[in-house]
Amino acid sequence: MSTAADTASAGADKPVSTSSSANADHAMMANAIRALAMDAVENAKSGHPGMPMGMADVATVLFTRFMKFCPRDPNWADRDRFVLSAGHGSMLIYSLLHLLGYEDMTIDQIRNFRQMGSLTPGHPEVDHTPGVEMTTGPLGQGISTSVGMALAERMLNARFGDDLVNHFTYVIASDGDLMEGISHEAISLAGHLKLSRMIVLFDDNGITIDGALDLSESGDQLARFEAAGWDTTRIDGHDPDAIAAAIEHAQTTDKPSLIACKTRIGFGAPTKEGTSGSHGAPLGAEEIEGTRKALGWSAAPFEIPQNVLDAWRVAGLRASKARTAWAERLDAAPEAQRREFERTMAGSLPNELHAAVNKLKRAFSDDKPSVATRKASENVLNGLADVVPELVGGSADLTGSNNTRAKSQKSVTADDFSGSYIHYGIREHGMAAAMNGMALHKGLIPYGGTFLVFSDYCRPSVRLSALMERRAIYVFSHDSIGLGEDGPTHQPVEHMAALRAIPNLNVFRPADAVETAEAWELALKALDRPSVIALTRQNLPTVRTKHTDENLSARGGYELSPADGDAKATLFATGSEVEIALAAQKQLQAEGVSTRVVSMPCLDLFLEQPAAYREDIIRPNTVRVAVEAGIEQGWGRLIGDSGGFVGMTGFGASAPYKQLYEHFGITPDAVAQAVRERL
C-alpha cells in the first residue's frame, strides 16, 4: 500500500511513505475521523456529521499517503494546499488536524466545536485555525478559490523554479459546490489554463439537504468537467486502494483532475447512512451507539485508541524530510532570488514603491492631464508594474475598457505561466474567487477589473476577501451615469453604497489622476484588507495641482479647497463629482458664501479616523451638502439630518453623459442651490 506515496510529491523530495497498516489499519484510522465528527456534533448539539463520516476514507488516504504538509510549520510555503470546499463538513478538517498532530488542535478544541473562542468554529476560518487554508461555507467558493491557488502555484513555479515552488492543490467538494453557478466559471477557467496541479475530490454521495440529489439535479458532472478540459474518473470512495490509484493518476495528468468518489453520507450510521438525516444534525445517542457497533469502534467519546493515534501522528511527520530539504534549497538559492521569494511570500512591498508613486503624482500635478481615472489608473500601473512584479492583473474580458493592463505585462497561458496578466474571460465571479485564491496562496498581489455595475457578480467573493482579510484589489471602472450611452443596465447607482456596506473593505473613488495613484498605493499597502478602486469612463480635470509627498487620501477625506473666509458651507464629493463641487464652490463664494470642498476618496477610511480629525473635516457648524452620482445611503454621518444630498434616487438612462448629469440634476447649480436652501 505504499506505492502511492512513492509518487506522492512532484517535488524533488517526496514525503516519506507510511504504510498505514503498520500501526492501525486504514478502516480504524478513518473511523477515528468518523467518531470525532459524530461526537463533536453531538456535544455541540449542532453541526454536520454526515459529510466527514462519508469522506473519511478519502481524507485518510489523501492525508496519510499524498498530502505534503508539516503540522509544526502550517505555513510552510511549498506545502500542498487543501481546501474543504464543503465547509459545512468542518469536523472533517478539525479531526484531521487533531489526528495529524497540529499542536493547537487539542482534543479540548474538538470538544468545544462551535463554541465561542474555540479553534473549531462552525465553518472553517483561515488564520483562525492553523492548517485551514481558506474560509469556506458559502458553497462553490472553495473550489473556485482553489483555482486561484493552483494558478498562483504555477505562476510562482515559473518565477522561482521547481526547487522552491512545486505543490498540489487538493479540494474536497460536495454536490452543492458543483451545483453552484460559480463552479462553472471556475472549472472552465481551470480547464482552459490546464491547471494540472489541481485535484478535486468530489463527494459524490447523491444527497443534499432536501433529500436525494435527483430531486433537483440530473446532470452528468463527469461529462461537464470533461467538456471543460478536465481529467475525470469515478471511484468507490470507500475503497482505499481505488482512492490512492485515482490520486496517483491525477498527479500525472496534464489537466486538472476530478475524482468523483461514490460515498455514503453518514457512513456507518445504522438508520441514517445514505440519507439527508445525517447531513446537518446530531445523530442522537441511539444512532451513535449503533454506529459505534457497526464500525467496531469501542473507544469512549473523544478518545482515540493509542495505536490509531500513533499511526496518524506518524503520518503527520511524513513530509518532515521534504520540508527540511526544501529549506536547505531555499538557503542555497542565490541571495537575490531567496530575498525576493521571502519578500513576496511575506506580502511585504518593495522599498521603492513610495518613490514610484510620488514620481507619478508629481508628474500628474505638473502636467494636469484631463483624463478618465481609468486611464490614469493604467498610467499608474505602467509606473508600478515593474516596481511591484508580484502584481498580477487581469480583467473579465474588459481589458481595454478597465485599462487594467500595464505595457510590460505578458499574458498568462496554459503553456507559459511566466506572465502577469490573466484573461479571466467573462467570468466576474470566477475572477474574484481566483483573486482570493492567489491572495491566500501568497506570493502574488491580484487585481482584476470589470464594470462597477458588475461588482454584483463578484460580491460573494468580495465579501470573502474582506472576511478573510486578503489583499485583493478590485478595479471597477465605468463608475456612474458618467458612462453615458450604455444606459441604466450599465450605470451603477447603489453600488458604492452596497460595497461600502461590506466591513473591512476600502472603497476608493478617486477624483483625478493624483488621487488614483494614492488609491493604488493605499490598496497595495492594505496587507489585510481588500480594496475597490472605482474609476470613471469620462475625462476629469486634475484637481490636485500642487504636489505633496503625503498621501492625502490615506485619511479617507481631506479639505481639497479651503473657503475664502470663515466657512459657512462644506461640500463633500467623490470622484467625478469633485469637479462639480469645485464649480459650486466658485458660484457660492461669488455670492459671498464662504465654502470649502472636501474630497472624500474613501469614506471607509475617513470614518475610521479619530473623532477630532473627522470633526475638523466635517465641520458640523457649517451647512453641509454631499454630491455623488449614486444613492444617498451612507452619507448621513457626514451631512447629518439637515444636510443636503445631490445624487441619484433611481436608475439612470441612456444618453450622452453630460445630458444625463443635467437630466438627473447633478450639477454645480443644484449643489449651490442645496446650500442656499440651508443657509
Nearer to ligand TPP, 42 or 204 (CB): 204
Residue (of 132, 13, 97, 110) closest to 315 by Cα position: 97
CB-wise, 291 or 516, nearer to ligand TPP? 291
CA atoms within 13 A on the CB side of 587: 17
CA distance 561 to 122: 50
d(CA 144, CA 463): 14
Q: State whether the Cα torsion 105-106-112-117 is positive or negative.
A: negative
175 vs 378, beta carbon nearer ligand TPP: 175
Residues 6 or more apart in contact with residue 320 via CB below 8 angstroms? 16, 70
C-beta of 209 vs 227, nearer to ligand TPP: 209
Smallest separation (angstroms) from ligand TPP to the CB of 100:
22
Question: CB neighbours (10 Å) of residue 462?
Answer: 25
Query: What is residue 413's DSSP assignment?
Result: B
As measured in angstroms, the least distance from the Cβ of 329 to ligand TPP is 40
Could you confirm whether 428 is annotated as catalytic? yes
Minimum CB distance to ligand TPP smaller for 33 or for 391: 33
DSSP notation for 50-99: HHHHHSHHHHHHIIIII----TT-TT-TTSPEEEESSGGGHHHHHHHHHH
Binding-site ranges for ligand TPP (CB under 6 A): 50-51, 86, 88-89, 137-139, 174-176, 180, 203, 205, 207-209, 265, 279
- Shortest Cβ 580–ligand TPP spacing (Å): 41
Q: Which is nearer to ligand TPP, 213 or 444 (CB)?
A: 213
Cβ–Cβ < 8 Å for 434, 151 = yes
CA angle 409, 412, 416 (to 5 degrees): 115
Q: Based on CB atoms, which residue is closest to ligand TPP, 51 or 626? A: 51
**Residue 581, helix vs strand vs coil:** helix
Of the candidates 428, 515, 518, 577, the residue annotated as catalytic is 428
Closest CA to 230 of 184, 188, 169: 188
Nearest to 401, CA basis, from 449, 448, 363, 368: 449
Cβ distance 505 to 604 under 8 Å?
yes
Shortest reach from residue 286's CB to ligand TPP, in Å: 22
Distance from C-alpha of 479 to C-alpha of 646, rounded to nearest angstrom: 16
Q: Residue 651 CB, nearest distance to ligand TPP (Å)?
A: 28
As measured in angstroms, the least distance from the Cβ of 232 to ligand TPP is 18
Q: What is the 3-state secondary structure (H, E, C) of 490-504?
A: CCCCCHHHHHHCCCC
C-alpha cell at 123: 465553518
Least distance CB 170 / ligand TPP (angstroms): 18
Contact 594, 500 (CB under 8 A): no
Which residue minimizes CB distance to ligand TPP? 176
User: Nearer to ligand TPP by C-beta: 277 or 556?
Assistant: 277
Task: State the minimum distance, in angstroms, from the CB of residue 197 to ligand TPP.
Answer: 24
At 267, the amino acid letter reads F
Distance between CA atoms of 636 and 642, rounded to whole angstroms?
A: 9
Catalytic residues, by residue number, are 428
